[in-house]
Amino acid sequence: MIKVFPSILAADLLHLQQDIEHVLSAGADGLHVDIMDGHFVPNLSFGPEIVRVLRRTFPGVFLDVHLMLASPEKYLNTFVEAGASALTIHHEAENALECLHRIRSLGLPAGLSVKPGTSEQSIIPVLEETDQLLIMTVEPGFGGQKLMPECVDKISNLRKLGYRKPIAVDGGVTLHNAPDVTKAGADILVMGTAVFHAEDRSHAIHQLHTL
Ligand code: DX5
Ligand code: ZN
């Protein structure tokens, strides 16, 4: 079944608990938490405290933490202790392979993300060290951007290469383009704007679950 992880970057930050309760009751399968350092991406978002309060407030919810950090190795322990359910680092970050090993040794699934400009060929040597992939379909750093269709081919190519673990897609995913993305082989949809700003969140998530 297709999983939907709303990205809290698009939530109403002044009413975050209420907004999250609403998307969870609307059927969300977990939460995507974007951590940005202002270096790896030209934006700042949340720190580890957000993961800590989310874990305290929503003990059973899957927290899919997306580390858009130049030097993620400095923060892996902190996010594990804060309560992340999975940590995804970027192939383009420092010491990516060592980070994948460290995340696993800390007991969490290790995710690897690639920016639009990074080919799927470049991650072939490390696929074995990953538990899931996060294919960026926008330049990371901001929500509300348009999906870059040329990135969707990476998903089908990775499936053709025999990658059988979960592939998530992140950036500009909507009800309109989600069918193409899942047909290509994605099984997790990270959606900020299209869920948090949906007219009817339950209807949107139900539609996505049936893809
Ligand atoms: C962008 C983030 C995405 C973003 C998704 O750097 O990694 O998770 O919040 O938001 P939408 O779905 O609005 O593109
Ligand atoms: Zn993200």
pLDDT for the residue 30: 98
Strand ordering across the sheet containing 86-90: 3-6, 188-191, 167-170, 132-136, 110-114, 86-90, 63-68, 31-36
pTM attached to this predicted model: 0.98
pLDDT for the residue 162: 98
Q: What is the CATH number of the domain that holds 124?
A: 3.20.20.70
pLDDT for the residue 37: 98
Find the domain containing 127 and state its range.
3-209
Which ligand 1 atom is the nearest neighbour of the CA of 66? 7
pLDDT for the residue 89: 99
The rounded Å distance from CA 170 to ligand 1 centre is 6
Q: What percent of the chain has pLDDT over 70?
A: 100
How many structural domains is the chain composed of? 1
Q: List, in sequence order, every residue forming a beta bridge with 88; answer none if it has no partner.
A: 66, 111
Say how many CA atoms lie within 13 Å of 109 toward its Cβ.
16
CA 88/CA 208 separation, integer angstroms: 23
Does 170 participate in catalysis according to the annotation? yes
Q: Which of 85, 136, 87 is CA-nearest to residue 114?
A: 136
For residue 37 and ligand 1, the question of a CB distance below 6 A is answered with: no
Q: What percent of the chain has pLDDT over 90?
A: 100
Which distant-in-sequence residues (6+ apart) come within 8 Å of 200 by Cβ?
none
Token pair 């750093």 in the structure block, residue: 141
Q: Give pLDDT tens digits for 56-90.
A: 999 999 999 999 999 999 999 999 999 999 999 99
**Mean pLDDT over all residues of the chain?**
98
> Which of these is catalytic: 19, 29, 37, 170?
170
pLDDT for the residue 63: 99
Mean pLDDT of 20-25: 98
pLDDT for the residue 127: 98
4, 5, 8, 9: which to mutate for ligand 1, most atoms within 8 A of CB? 9
